[in-house]
C-alpha cells in the first residue's frame, strides 16, 4: 500500500465519482481505476461499491477511509516538521448554531498566522451534515436540537455510524431591531403586542424536521404570539437578519449576548424556558484530531458565556 493509493481512494470518496476524481487528480479514469483495483486486491476487500449513483464506500471501506484520512493528515504533518511549519486544518458543518459560527471565527483568528491553514464552515440541515461527514467532506458537525427532537436526531446519527456528544445548551430568543417600537416600552415589552408586527420565518429549501424548531407553532404562542396573517418566509439566513434590521418584523433564533448583538443591530430577548441542546457529531471510526478538539473547547467557552452572561 502506498500513500498515492490512499490519496486516490480519499479523492474518489470525496468526489463520489471516478471520473470527477480523475479530473481532480489530472489523470485518466482508467489509471485511477487500476490503482484502486490494485489496492483492493492487496487489502482483500472492496473499498467501494460501483453504483449508478456513484462510488459508495462499503462497510469495510468506510473504516479504511477513516484511518486513511488520519494517515494522510499525519504524513503531511511529518513532512512539515523539518521546515518548522505548523498546519491548522478544520472543517465544520453546522445548522443554526450561532455559537458554532462565533467559535469558528475565534478559531480562525487564533490560527491565521500559521504557515499552513485550511478552514471551512458549512451550513445546512442535519441530513446535509450527516452526508458531509459520511463523505469525509468535513471533520465534525455541530447541531442545535430542541429537547423534544434530540432523541430522533441522535438515533439517526447512530444509523449513519456517527458518535454524538452533548457540548452544552443555549437559549432561544426573540429578535428585534434595536430601535423597534416595542423596545421603547423597556427591555421586556408586552409580548402580546407582537401580533401587530410581521413574523419573519426562515426555512431551508428542502424539508427537514430541524427547521420546525424555529416555527411559531413549535415555539408556542403562549410565549411569543404570532399573527398567522402576518408572516414573511425566506430561505436565507442573511435575508432574515436583514429584514429584522430594516423592518418592524420580528423572528426567533438562538440567544447571543449584547456584544455581538450590538454589532448586527439586533436586540435579543432570551427565553430561559426554551433551550437548544448543542451536540457535536463525528464518525465513530475516526477519533477527533487536535484541531477539532481545540475548536470544541472554544465552542464550550462560547456556550458557557451565553449561559452565564446577559440573562437579566
Residue 259 is predicted with a pLDDT of 41
List, for residues 71-90, the tens digit of each pLDDT value: 877 776 666 665 555 567 88
Lowest mean pLDDT among 69-73, 92-96, 101-105: 69-73
**Residues carrying CATH 1.10.10.10, the chain:** 1-85
List, for residues 248-264, the tens digit of each pLDDT value: 999 887 766 444 444 56
**Residues carrying CATH 3.40.190.10, the chain:** 170-273
Question: Residue 301: which residues within 8 A CB-CB, separation 6 or more?
Answer: 103
List, for residues 267-294, the tens digit of each pLDDT value: 888 776 777 888 999 988 777 888 889 9
What is the dotted CATH code of the domain comprising 170-273?
3.40.190.10
Residue 82 is predicted with a pLDDT of 58
Residue 281 is predicted with a pLDDT of 92
Q: Considering only the top CATH level, what class is 1-85?
A: mainly alpha
Amino acid at each position: 500500500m502506498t500513500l498515492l493509493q490512499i490519496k486516490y481512494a480519499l479523492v474518489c470518496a470525496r468526489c463520489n465519482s471516478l471520473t470527477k476524481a480523475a479530473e481532480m487528480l489530472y489523470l485518466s479514469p482508467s489509471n485511477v481505476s487500476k490503482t484502486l483495483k490494485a489496492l483492493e486486491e492487496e487489502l482483500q476487500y472492496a473499498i467501494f461499491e460501483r453504483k449508478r449513483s456513484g462510488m459508495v464506500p462499503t462497510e469495510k471501506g468506510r473504516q479504511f477511509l477513516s484511518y486513511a484520512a488520519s494517515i494522510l493528515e499525519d504524513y503531511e504533518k511529518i513532512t512539515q516538521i523539518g521546515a518548522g511549519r505548523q498546519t491548522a486544518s478544520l472543517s465544520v458543518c453546522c445548522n443554526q448554531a450561532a455559537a458554532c459560527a462565533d467559535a469558528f471565527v475565534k478559531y480562525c483568528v487564533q490560527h491565521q498566522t500559521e504557515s499552513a491553514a485550511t478552514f471551512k464552515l458549512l451550513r445546512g440541515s442535519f441530513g446535509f451534515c450527516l452526508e458531509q461527514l459520511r463523505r469525509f467532506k468535513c471533520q465534525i458537525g455541530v447541531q442545535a436540537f430542541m429537547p423534544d427532537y434530540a432523541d430522533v436526531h441522535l438515533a439517526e446519527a447512530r444509523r449513519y455510524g456517527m458518535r454524538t456528544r452533548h457540548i452544552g445548551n443555549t437559549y432561544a430568543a426573540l429578535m428585534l431591531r434595536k430601535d423597534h417600537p416595542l423596545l421603547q416600552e423597556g427591555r421586556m415589552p408586552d409580548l402580546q403586542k407582537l401580533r401587530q408586527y410581521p413574523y419573519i420565518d426562515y426555512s431551508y429549501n428542502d424539508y427537514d424536521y430541524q427547521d420546525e424548531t424555529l416555527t411559531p407553532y413549535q415555539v408556542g404562542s403562549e410565549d411569543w404570539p404570532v399573527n398567522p396573517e402576518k408572516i414573511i418566509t425566506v430561505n436565507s439566513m442573511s435575508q432574515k437578519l436583514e429584514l429584522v434590521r430594516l423592518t418592524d418584523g420580528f423572528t426567533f433564533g438562538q440567544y447571543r449576548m449584547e456584544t455581538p448583538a450590538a454589532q448586527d443591530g439586533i436586540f435579543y430577548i432570551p427565553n430561559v424556558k426554551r433551550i437548544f441542546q448543542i451536540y457535536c457529531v463525528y464518525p465513530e471510526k475516526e477519533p477527533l484530531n487536535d484541531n477539532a478538539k481545540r475548536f470544541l473547547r472554544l465552542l464550550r467557552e462560547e456556550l458557557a458565556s451565553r449561559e452565564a452572561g446577559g440573562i437579566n
